[in-house]
Amino acid sequence: MGRLDGKVAVITGGGRGQGRAHAVTLAAEGADIVICDAPGDIATIEYGMATAEDMQETVRLVEKAGRRCVAVEADVRDTADMARLAERTMDELGRVDALVCNAGVMSAADSTWELTDDQWRDMLDVNVTGVWKVCRAIVPHMIAGKRGGAITITGSTGGLRSVAGCTHYNVAKHGCIALMRTLAWELAPEMIRVNVVHPTGVNTEMSNNEWFAQWIQEHDRLAGPMRGNLMPVDVVQPEDVSKMIAFLVSDDARYVTGTEVRVDAGFMLK
Ligand SMILES: NC(=O)c1ccc[n+]([C@@H]2O[C@H](COP(=O)([O-])OP(=O)(O)OC[C@H]3O[C@@H](n4cnc5c(N)ncnc54)[C@H](O)[C@@H]3O)[C@@H](O)[C@H]2O)c1
């Protein structure tokens, strides 16, 4: 018996990293899974996105855990793609109980005034507008199901205290909190809960790629304060975040809504 037996979870950015860990963890709790991801590079993002093969690997791992997994190539920035994601979910699995808004990107600049229009636009489009777009597509199906449900949005410690060099990331992640609070108000009567999880650095491609390593090296004054947590770990693992999300979307958290939870090894107390 899992905490999510018989339920269906939709996860954005499920091709790799935290999204993949969420898929496998929620499947182990009994949920069938729908992942979306958007293979293909984004011009202002200096590391690659997940590939179609990455998405298939998530499918394999979910199936190994004994659950179904539908993989949909869909970009959270694209309204039609999000409508198609909702349609595939309902056609193939017939319901949605949990929505995990996880897809995100990272870029940086030497300062707020040196960011380009394109960097700003791509960041806001993926990291906050994309969250709104997937909610807009999926929420009506959650309401129509009349079974309640739960939404989690992946924030960041950058969305709480901001870090130098990525003002657009900070703005987007702060925006996710506003989105969460508004949705929590609107969806409480439907017994649909909405929360944000704020991870510190996580061991995934986003923080563990050649471009970011070099950026950190070249921007010690900006990056220095970002480094290190209160607890003696450099980064947490994707599964550490997944376990919090599994709790939040389960009935164990049935009256938890409108909140933010940090999985940050104490980073915010520094
Ligand atoms: N890695 C960290 O240190 C860290 C820290 C705090 C918060 N976060 C947040 O965690 C979330 C997951 O990131 P991750 O660490 O797993 O990194 P990741 O780069 O491994 O995974 C992000 C996933 O989102 C997908 N994606 C990107 N743009 C998309 C789009 N437009 N449409 C659909 N999918 C898209 C990518 O292809 C990738 O599979 C992000 O929201 C990120 O901002 C990450």
For the residues of 161-223, what is the DSSP string, one character each?
H--TT-HHHHHHHHHHHHHHHHHHHHHGGGTEEEEEEEESSBSSTTTSSHHHHHHHHHTHHHH
Cα 133 from chain centre: 13
Distance 189 CA to ligand 1 centre (A): 31
Ligand 1 atom with minimal separation from the 126 CA = 31
pLDDT at 164: 87
Q: How far is the CA of 88 from the centre of ligand 1 (A)?
A: 22
Q: What is the structure's pLDDT at 221?
A: 83
pLDDT 10s digits, 94-105: 999 999 999 999
Q: For residue 226, is pLDDT > 80?
A: no
Query: Of the given ranges (120-134, 172-186, 219-233), which has the lowest mean pLDDT?
Result: 219-233
Residues noted as catalytic: 169
**Residue 163, pLDDT above cutoff 90:** no
The residues spanned by each domain of the chain are 8-260
Query: How do residues 167-211 score in pLDDT, each as one tens digit?
Result: 999 999 999 999 999 999 999 999 999 999 999 999 999 999 999
Output the residue whose Cα is nearest ligand 1's atom 3. 201
> How much is the pLDDT for 114?
96
Provide mean pLDDT across the span 16-36: 98
Flag whether pLDDT at 225 surpasses 90: no
CB 3, CB 250: distance < 8 Å: yes
Which residues have any ligand 1 atom within 6 Å of their CB? 12-13, 15-19, 36-38, 49-50, 75-77, 102-105, 126, 130, 154, 156, 199, 201-202, 204-207
Q: What is the pLDDT of residue 146?
A: 98
Q: What is the pLDDT of residue 220?
A: 85
- Cα(200) to ligand 1 centroid in Å equals 13
pLDDT band at 147 (very low <50, low <70, confident <90, very high): very high
- Characterize 83-100 residue by residue with b for buried, 16 or more Cβ atoms within 10 angstroms of its Cβ, and e for exposed: ebbbebbbeebebbbbbb
pLDDT for residue 100: 99
Interstrand relation of 192-199 and 98-101 (parallel, antiparallel or unpaired) = unpaired
Q: What is the pTM of this model?
A: 0.98
Does the structure show a pLDDT above 80 at 216? yes
- High-pLDDT (> 90) share of the chain, %: 94
Instruction: Quote the mean pLDDT of the chain.
Output: 97
- Alpha carbon 214 to its chain centroid, in Å, reads 25
Name the more confident of 242 and 226.
Answer: 242
Query: What is the model's pLDDT at position 157?
Result: 95
Count of positions (residues) in the chain: 270
Q: How far apart are CA 237 and CA 204, in angstroms?
A: 8
User: How far away, in angstroms, is 40 Cα from ligand 1 center?
Assistant: 14
Residue 152 has pLDDT above 90, yes or no: yes
CATH number of this structure's domain 8-260, picked from the four choices 3.30.200.20, 3.40.50.720, 3.30.160.270, 3.40.50.2000: 3.40.50.720
